[in-house]
């Protein structure tokens, strides 16, 4: 009786192995040290910039590959990290401060492979090198932002319900409303209690006026901090996706901290600039009823505040904010068709659109200002100790007359150049940070350390693979060599799966591959031992082979399913390194089931399927 395999199974195996080899291939080409050059806020990238970069490098005698266009920036590859570091200094000095120049690692995948979507697998920080940030959310600012929202919403609601009040302000992170009489305060208290049950209300009379104070309970403060933390994680992920960092790790640590790891980035400057940026917009009405000169002399109206335009001119704006950056759901930079000036096209969410619609309806013919707000963290050294200071920079970038009523979509102009419009659109599109972030820890993992980890990982896989091959060849002879072939194909398929899905390989992930190498032959050991048992009881060779595969399958499936469940649990509840281990273990279990059962059965069928057998090399 022969051991034949259906043709469709041969075709399926060939297709999977061919695809696996194709998508594993990019990992053989490695990475090159590179400079990634992007324009700053006040500069533009042009063909002349690329020519200048090449000229600077040639004049310094630094060998490099052709300068490539990469999105809005440039990419230059080098042969070694030493040349890369010297090139960074040369290019930085030659281009000046208007450009962001980052050290990076760029894959050397051939164009024909890249056109098929084949990429090398993503390497984690411990293997590729890169930067690690530990960022802390400003809890006080998160609460203050929440109170400001309450102030704005309560003010709007009292106006709609015709509740008369004198002032409403944020005092010590509490909403304080002042009234002339107790009846109006009682109406406001009932209104606020019905709409905002989470706020604790307290009314009192002092200095001839009535005050209603609304404060957040401790539980709500914790919920607000958690909400700000999660929104910041989402915003950071969006921003990093915008600049194209492969497989970043962004996760919560503790109650108010976020870990950010950016593999492949060797220079922290550009990453810090984008991650910590809190640029957003506020739309406010110009105070047309009061004179800004009186305000400069100390007579600032209670509901207004002095701002400054780009040219330094003072302007008086109302404190009430119409819409803020967190109500912007989309933003795109472009050129205004009328003025040919840079602009950002803004789309608001439903709540923001309603506020803008109501405001523009009532204020046609009046001026509205756009305030650009940015939190800047500066490091200063005082008596040899580095201290960080934050300052909020607010400037009016546009003042325009409302010509007609609008709501959901409109344009913001007044920007200096297209690059500033592009950066602002990126930050708005990614979302505003719910609260400022402070970098409390910063580490850079060099590519040499990462390469050392890779070399040790490769050695561990090679040693484990070689020892397993010797064992299988010695114990199971010809059948053992078939298992060794399947084991080699299994490693190729694991690498292909990691590359195709762009899962991140970390040092613990390499440990998962080593473990898989040992576990992958378990299925073959069970099958081969079952074949031996069948041979011992006198079963003909071809029948013994068939019985070995069929009877061992359920045991193999049970063992692998339980291991797979454990791997899924590790991935679901683990963090960083544990996830890396779980990913490779999961892929290894799936591919080993395919190679240990289907591939070995196909090879044995090709080898022995049509032969008359009296004994087996097992």
Domain extent, residue 167, equals: 140-217
268 lies in the same domain as 386: yes
Contact between 115 and 435 under an 8 Å Cβ cutoff? The reply is no
167 lies in the same domain as 250: no
User: Band of the pLDDT at 15, cuts 50, 70, 90?
Assistant: very high
CB-based burial, 337-372: b 16+ in 10 Å, e otherwise: eeeeebbbbbbbeeebbebbeebbeebeeeebbbbb
- Number of domains observed in the structure of the chain: 4
496 lies in the same domain as 595: yes
Q: What is the pLDDT of residue 254?
A: 82
Give CA–CA dist 496/501, Å, rounded.
Answer: 8
In a domain, 80, yes or no: yes
Instruction: Give the whole-number percent of the chain exceeding pLDDT 90.
Output: 8
Q: What is the pLDDT of residue 574?
A: 74
Give CA–CA dist 590/570, Å, rounded.
Answer: 16
Q: Could you tell me how many residues make up the chain?
A: 618
SS3 state at 302: coil
Secondary structure element (H or E) that encloses residue 68, with its range: strand 68-70
Place of tokens 């950016």: 262
Q: Which residues contact 508 (CB under 8 A, 6 or more apart)?
A: 577, 578, 580, 581
Residue 24 has pLDDT above 80, yes or no: yes
User: Band of the pLDDT at 547, cuts 50, 70, 90?
Assistant: confident
Contact between 581 and 460 under an 8 Å Cβ cutoff? The reply is no
In a domain, 95, yes or no: yes
What's the average model confidence in pLDDT over 221-250? 75
391 lies in the same domain as 427: yes
In a domain, 54, yes or no: yes
The CATH number given to whatever domain includes residue 325 is 3.30.1360.200
Boundary residue ending a domain (407, 426, 444): 444
Q: Which residues contact 535 (CB under 8 A, 6 or more apart)?
A: 541, 544, 616, 618
Q: What is the pLDDT of residue 306?
A: 93
574 lies in the same domain as 496: yes
The CATH number given to whatever domain includes residue 534 is 1.20.1640.10
213 lies in the same domain as 273: no
Identify which has the larger pLDDT, 479 or 373: 479
384 lies in the same domain as 337: yes
The CATH number given to whatever domain includes residue 201 is 3.30.70
In a domain, 114, yes or no: no
Q: What is the pLDDT of residue 382?
A: 66
Residue 41 has pLDDT above 60, yes or no: no
Boundary residue ending a domain (60, 91, 107): 107
What's the average model confidence in pLDDT over 65-92? 84
250 lies in the same domain as 173: no
Q: Max CA-CA distance within the chain?
A: 111
User: Band of the pLDDT at 573, cuts 50, 70, 90?
Assistant: confident
In a domain, 276, yes or no: yes
Q: Please tell me the least confidently modeled range out of 182-191, 227-236, 242-251, 591-600.
A: 242-251
| Cα distances (Å, whole numbers) of residue 90 to 58, 63, 81, 93 | 10, 13, 14, 5
464 lies in the same domain as 598: yes
The CATH number given to whatever domain includes residue 82 is 3.30.70.260
Ranges assigned E (strand) in 98-158 = 99-107, 122-123, 130-137
Instruction: Give the whole-number percent of the chain exceeding pLDDT 70.
Output: 87
293 lies in the same domain as 179: no
Q: What is the pLDDT of residue 23?
A: 92
312 lies in the same domain as 395: yes
Secondary structure element (H or E) that encloses residue 250, with its range: strand 249-253
Contact between 261 and 127 under an 8 Å Cβ cutoff? The reply is no
Write the pLDDT tens digit of every residue in 462-514: 888 888 889 888 888 888 899 899 989 998 999 999 888 887 787 888 888 88
What's the average model confidence in pLDDT over 163-184? 88
In a domain, 509, yes or no: yes
In a domain, 618, yes or no: no
What's the average model confidence in pLDDT over 31-59? 79
Boundary residue ending a domain (191, 217, 243): 217
């Amino acid at each position: 009786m022969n051991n034949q395999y259906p043709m469709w199974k041969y075709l399926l195996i060939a297709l999977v192995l061919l695809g696996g080899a194709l998508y594993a291939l990019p990992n053989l080409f490695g990475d090159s040290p590179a400079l990634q050059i992007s324009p700053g806020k006040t500069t533009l990238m042009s063909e002349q910039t690329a020519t200048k970069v090449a000229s600077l490098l040639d004049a310094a005698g630094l060998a490099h590959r052709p300068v490539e266009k990469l999105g809005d920036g440039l990419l230059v590859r080098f042969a070694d990290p030493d040349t890369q570091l010297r090139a960074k200094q040369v290019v930085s000095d030659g281009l000046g401060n208007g450009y962001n120049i980052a050290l990076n690692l760029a894959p050397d995948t051939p164009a024909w492979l890249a056109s098929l979507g084949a990429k090398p697998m993503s390497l984690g920080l411990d293997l590729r090198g890169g930067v690690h940030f530990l960022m802390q959310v400003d809890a006080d600012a998160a609460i203050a932002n929440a109170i400001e929202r309450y102030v704005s919403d309560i003010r709007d609601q009292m106006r709609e319900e015709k509740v008369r009040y004198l002032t409403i302000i944020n005092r010590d992170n509490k909403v304080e409303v002042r009234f002339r009489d107790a009846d109006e305060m009682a109406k406001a208290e009932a209104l606020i209690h019905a709409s905002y049950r989470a706020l604790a209300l307290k009314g009192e009379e002092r200095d001839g006026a009535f005050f209603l104070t609304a404060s957040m309970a401790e539980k709500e403060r914790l919920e607000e901090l958690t909400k700000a933390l999660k929104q910041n994680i989402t915003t950071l992920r969006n921003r990093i996706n915008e600049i194209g960092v492969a497989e970043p790790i962004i996760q919560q640590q503790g109650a108010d901290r976020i870990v950010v790891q950016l593999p492949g980035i060797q220079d922290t400057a550009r990453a810090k600039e984008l991650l910590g940026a809190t640029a957003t917009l506020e739309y406010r009405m110009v105070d047309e009823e009061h004179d800004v000169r009186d305000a400069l002399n100390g007579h600032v109206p209670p509901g207004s505040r002095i701002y400054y335009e780009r040219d330094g001119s003072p302007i008086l704006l109302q404190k009430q904010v119409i819409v803020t950056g967190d109500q912007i759901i989309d933003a795109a930079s472009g050129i205004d068709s009328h003025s040919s000036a840079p602009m950002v096209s803004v789309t608001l969410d439903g709540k923001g659109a309603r506020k803008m619609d109501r405001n523009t309806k009532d204020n046609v013919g009046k001026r509205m200002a756009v305030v650009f707000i940015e939190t800047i963290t500066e490091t200063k050294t005082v008596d040899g100790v580095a201290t960080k200071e934050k300052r909020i920079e607010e400037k009016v970038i546009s003042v325009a007359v409302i010509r007609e009523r609008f709501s959901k979509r409109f344009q913001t102009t007044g920007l200096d150049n297209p690059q500033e419009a592009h950066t602002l659109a990126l930050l708005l599109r990614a979302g505003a940070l719910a609260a400022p972030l402070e970098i409390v820890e910063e580490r850079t993992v060099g590519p040499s350390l990462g390469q050392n980890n890779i070399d040790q990982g490769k050695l561990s896989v090679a040693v484990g693979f070689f020892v397993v091959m010797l064992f299988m060849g010695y114990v199971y002879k010809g059948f053992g060599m078939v298992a060794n072939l399947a084991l080699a194909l299994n490693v190729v398929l694991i690498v292909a799966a990691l590359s195709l899905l762009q899962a991140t390989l970390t040092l613990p992930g390499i440990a998962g591959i080593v473990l898989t190498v040992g576990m992958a032959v378990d299925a073959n050991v069970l099958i081969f031992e079952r074949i031996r048992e069948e041979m011992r009881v006198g079963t003909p060779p071809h029948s013994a082979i068939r019985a070995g595969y069929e009877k061992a399958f359920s045991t193999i499936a049970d063992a692998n399913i339980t291991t797979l469940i454990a791997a899924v649990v590790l991935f679901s509840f683990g963090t960083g390194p544990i996830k890396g281990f779980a990913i490779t273990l999961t892929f290894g279990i799936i591919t080993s089931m395919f190679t240990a059962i289907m591939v070995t059965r196909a090879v044995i069928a090709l080898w022995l399927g049509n032969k008359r057998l009296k004994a087996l090399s097992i």
